[in-house]
Structure 1
């Protein structure tokens, strides 16, 4: 537990303090699970009183939901940036190769666990469910837009980018469903499954996105 010294407490602007709280909660959720996010736990991590966290988030469910969105949004921007060219990606094919290289690696395991965790908890927490749905749609739109751009340029051949994007995400989620019980076996047998689905959907030969 972090020790606190009221005499040395730093007063921060409300927006800065709120962002700090969400970022701390997101880190906890990503590495330990959303159930571990409590007002007291976040306060201890920041070295402040729980009442300060409660001032910004009177309901812990709202903090959990925003922490989930913060963590998954950061991952999305890293994997599928809004402007791939500005991120140094050389066309839709290159962006997808980077994307599948990361989502099939151990680096993506914590994010896979977070999604699995959030989907389970969203059955009982309506605020979290709204955030999960919003993030699902956003991830799907990013992939759809990338497929559409590749199709327009002639790099891909896909008559329905939205449907293809949905199937790619389902393949990623399916491969991630075993993350808590058999991660090693999953990587050995299904690591390239989502990439193979994408190649088929985009009219590419096997291994084109490897």
Structure 2
């Protein structure tokens, strides 16, 4: 009886392996919480030895902070897509806020809430949270400034307007784990209405601009 030859394992490049570890940790963070990120648990997810994880991340707290950064960077890129900078500022802001209100972002809202709590005790995570907040705030201020120049928005202080909007977004996220919190369009639209008030937009403007353009009828629609 001859033994079946075992398939050769392909050794991954260090950068590829590191990215794989961070992505697996981010998946754990989104699904179960940042507390579940341990070197052994990530090793189990990837079916490798824990020693491989510790080779790249000797300190688990550093993996926790990188997993948070990875997940929130993906979130920001989906809400403020870099490839859509040619769209009107009002359209991009509408996408950002309406997606947060209506889209499938509950796991990410839980992650932010989780990270802000744990960052009290974990310095690398505290730095990661601050960095992510700064990048998002800077991007939103730039978007508002662009909208003012284009005539989409009216405000004398883009930073103040951005802070009001983001505080409203964070306030909505604070209810993510509370099933008894008030539901319905009133609470979901707090950040949208805040933006419209701070930026001189008529009520309903952002939801109107977030609606997808109708597809043409006929054979062309299938392309």
What TM-score, normalized to structure 2?
Answer: 0.86
Counterpart Cα distance in 2 of 1:188 and 1:152: 31
Which one is further off, 53-62 or 10-19? Answer: 10-19
Work out which of the two has the higher radius of gyration on C-alpha atoms and give 1 or 2.
2
Say yes or no: does 1:104 pair with 2:77: no
Counterpart Cα distance in 2 of 1:119 and 1:186: 24
* 1:1-210 matches, cutoff 5 A: 8-85=8-85, 90-182=87-179, 185-210=182-207
CA contact (8 A) 2:175 2:181 kept: no
Counterpart Cα distance in 2 of 1:183 and 1:13: 48
Residues 106 and 166 of structure 1: CA distance in aligned 2, closer, same or farther (over 3 Å): same
Residues 187 and 128 of structure 1: CA distance in aligned 2, closer, same or farther (over 3 Å): farther
Residue ranges of structure 1 left out of the alignment (5+ in a row)? 1-5
Count matched residues.
202
Alignment root-mean-square deviation, CA: 1.7
Residues 21 and 125 of structure 1: CA distance in aligned 2, closer, same or farther (over 3 Å): same
CA contact (8 A) 1:179 1:186 kept: no
Residue ranges of structure 2 left out of the alignment (5+ in a row)? 1-5, 208-223
Residues 8 and 28 of structure 1: CA distance in aligned 2, closer, same or farther (over 3 Å): farther
Counterpart Cα distance in 2 of 1:123 and 1:44: 28
Q: What is the deviation of 1:108?
A: 1.1
Q: What is the deviation of 1:111?
A: 0.7
Misfit runs of 4+, over 6 Å: none
For 1:147-176, what per-residue CA distance to the aligned partner results, in whole angstroms no more than 9, with x for missing partners? 000001111111111111111110000011
What TM-score, normalized to structure 1?
Answer: 0.91
Counterpart Cα distance in 2 of 1:92 and 1:171: 20
